[in-house]
Amino acid sequence: MKEDGRIKKHPILKFDRGKKVYFYFNGKKVEGYENETVAAALYAMGVRIFSRSFKYHRPRGFFCAIGKCSSCLMRVNGVPNVRTCMVRVQEGMVVESEHAFPSAEHDIYSVMDYIPFISKTGFYLKTFIRPRFLYGTYQKVIRKFTGLGKFPTKKAVYKPPKENPLIETDVAVIGGGPAGLSAAIYAAKLGANAILIDENWRLGGQLIKQTHRFFGSARHEAGIRGIRIAEDLTRQVEELKDKITVMLEATATGYYAEGIIGVVQKGKFIKIKPKRTIIATGAYERTLVFENNDLPGVYGAGGVQTLMNVYGVKPGNEGLMVGAGNVGLIVTYQLLQAGVKVKAIVEAMPKVGGYLVHAAKVRRLGVPIYTRHTILKAYGNKKVEGAIIVELDDKWNPIPGTEKNIKCDFICISVGLNPTHELLYQAGATLKYVRELGGFVPLRNKYMETDAKGVFVAGDASGIEEASTAIMEGRIAGITAALQLGYGDESAIKLREEIMKDLEEMRSGPFGEPIVRGIKKVLIEEGAQ
């Protein structure tokens, strides 16, 4: 594990990796940097297998890199099932792979994947119950093959305090991405006190990996790189620090009765009771069904973007992109900028789904786009070594004989996003499945208020769209929440109308058309009564 996958020189980014630190991985002393997550540091040194699957012990790599997919769970400092993509490396940290012997890399239990009769549903449930007196022994043995992790060591066991602190505030904003930041800023600007809760160690959400310039209205950050917008919004939050309390590395774990939000921050449980809640939890990446789609090396395109643009670690040397939407096209361009070759982009639709200009940008740099093609399977021994792609006919069936073998060491999946709706559901908002908006989204009025009392939604959690529209929605939600609490005046209402007008104009083109159609399905007249 001598290799260093870190990017040395990048046209856009300078990586602030911080101090070098040493930690232990499966008993071996290894190095990382203090601003890297455990997953990024391990990836940079060549680790590709992060965990093993529950039953068959198939190797698992990372997928999303933003704490949503649970593929990178490891035991950290004695605590089982830690998302290594969310925890930063610390000096002397002890990291161990779980649920594998002797390690996730070489797991002898992976024989499970090669014993065909075990894969029969319920085989072990029906077989290992007789003779009766051996039942207990069977359980003990089988337990070793399955389950996730071991119990935490005594040192790592959480000792709850007698009383958890309760913080009251005007507005709680969950999610520190473009929508959440904008909501907090606009609510605070009008005078409301706000608490901004985010899981990551820095604000900006997914903006911090968007190195490209944004499309949109020149009045709303068009032509500016996403990373700069993140810097600017973060600066605005800092300027409003009398009004906005930022809680980082804090996970909103639940929305409880009487509108209390439970937050876990650095091992402590904190209760927050806001008068208004704005949920801007963003989205998570979809995956795609094909043979060996769980092979390490099959990653979410956004996950790859995080790895290379936030932590400066190359995902591999040669990649294949699945999906020619904006995410697929943009990440392809950014892979090229990071010095990574992209062998091809495949797209099942008969046309490029993202903006034509993004497609033209990668085509002139020599990346072929195969429309009406899909990925048939990935192959490789414990990690991706290549993929078979195939052309599709008009009925979406693979055309035999059109298979192409593409050698690559990673595959990016960019087939869309799903809104992160769990908290909204807990809060009591009525959810509806709307295909145009990417999945389950809450009913809301034009000011982004849901039918749950005092609960607003903004950004991708309300429907998959762009960061620029997320910013506008955040502003609308923030202003409305503050207005409802008696802050702001006529000028705030006027400002909100202007933003709504700009948003409507943004969506008036062909790319906005499905969004408008989707929103019509969830738009309600009033908020909660």
Partner 1 sequence: MSGEIKEYLRTGIIRVEDLGELPSEERLKKKPVCITECIQPIPCDSCYYACKFNAIKMDNINDPPKIDYEKCTGCNLCLRTCPGLAMFTVGITKDGKGYVTMPHEFEPYPKPGDIVEILGRRGQSLGKARVKFVFPPEKNDKTALVTVEVDKDLIFEARAIKVM
Cβ neighbours for 369, distance < 8 A, ≥ 6 positions apart: 324, 344, 345, 346, 347, 352, 359, 362, 363
Total count of residues recorded for the chain: 529
CB of 359 to partner 1, least distance (A): 3
Q: Say which amino acid occupies 170.
A: D
CB nearer to partner 1: pick between 147 and 223: 223
Structure tokens at 303: 């996950």
Distance, in Å, from the CA atom of 268 to the CA atom of 521, rounded to the nearest integer, reads: 40
CB 26 within 8 A of CB 240: no
CB nearer to partner 1: pick between 291 and 513: 513
CB nearer to partner 1: pick between 130 and 235: 235
CB of 507 to partner 1, least distance (A): 7
CB nearer to partner 1: pick between 160 and 510: 510
Query: SS in 3 state form for 461-500?
Result: HHCCCCHHHHHHHHHHHHHHHHHHCCCCCHHHHHHHHHHH
Distance, in Å, from the CA atom of 301 to the CA atom of 366, rounded to the nearest integer, reads: 20
Residue by residue, DSSP assigns 17-38 as --SEEEEEETTEEEEEETTSBH
CB of 418 to partner 1, least distance (A): 23
Q: Say which amino acid occupies 272.
A: I
CB nearer to partner 1: pick between 349 and 528: 349
CB nearer to partner 1: pick between 127 and 508: 508
CB of 223 to partner 1, least distance (A): 4
CB of 506 to partner 1, least distance (A): 5
CB 521 within 8 A of CB 434: yes
CB of 66 to partner 1, least distance (A): 23
CB of 182 to partner 1, least distance (A): 18
> Under DSSP, is residue 428 helix (H, G, I), strand (E, B) or coil?
coil
Distance, in Å, from the CA atom of 335 to the CA atom of 318, rounded to the nearest integer, reads: 9
CB of 193 to partner 1, least distance (A): 34
CB 138 within 8 A of CB 128: yes
CB nearer to partner 1: pick between 255 and 333: 333
Categorise residue 366: left if φ over 0, alpha if ψ from -120 to 50, beta otherwise: left
Query: SS in 3 state form for 66-77?
Result: CCCCCCCEEEEC
CB nearer to partner 1: pick between 164 and 508: 508
CB of 354 to partner 1, least distance (A): 9
CB nearer to partner 1: pick between 318 and 422: 318
CB of 11 to partner 1, least distance (A): 5
Give me the residues that bind partner 1 (CB under 8 A), please: 9-12, 212-219, 222-225, 228, 324, 336-337, 339, 350-352, 355-367, 369, 371-372, 394, 505-512
CB nearer to partner 1: pick between 330 and 441: 330
CB nearer to partner 1: pick between 13 and 429: 13
E strand or H helix at 79 = strand 79-83
CB nearer to partner 1: pick between 230 and 452: 230
CB of 210 to partner 1, least distance (A): 11
Distance, in Å, from the CA atom of 378 to the CA atom of 399, rounded to the nearest integer, reads: 18
CB of 333 to partner 1, least distance (A): 8
CB nearer to partner 1: pick between 69 and 324: 324
Strand partners, 179: none
CB of 255 to partner 1, least distance (A): 33
Chain centroid to CA 297: 17
Cβ neighbours for 441, distance < 8 A, ≥ 6 positions apart: 419, 421, 431, 432, 434, 457, 461, 462, 463, 518, 522
Q: Which of 50, 70, 69 is nearest to 60 (CA)?
A: 50
Sign of the torsion angle spanned by Cα atoms 99, 101, 102, 106: negative
> For strand 59-60 and strand 79-83, is the pairing parallel, antiparallel, or unpaired?
unpaired
> Under DSSP, is residue 406 helix (H, G, I), strand (E, B) or coil?
strand
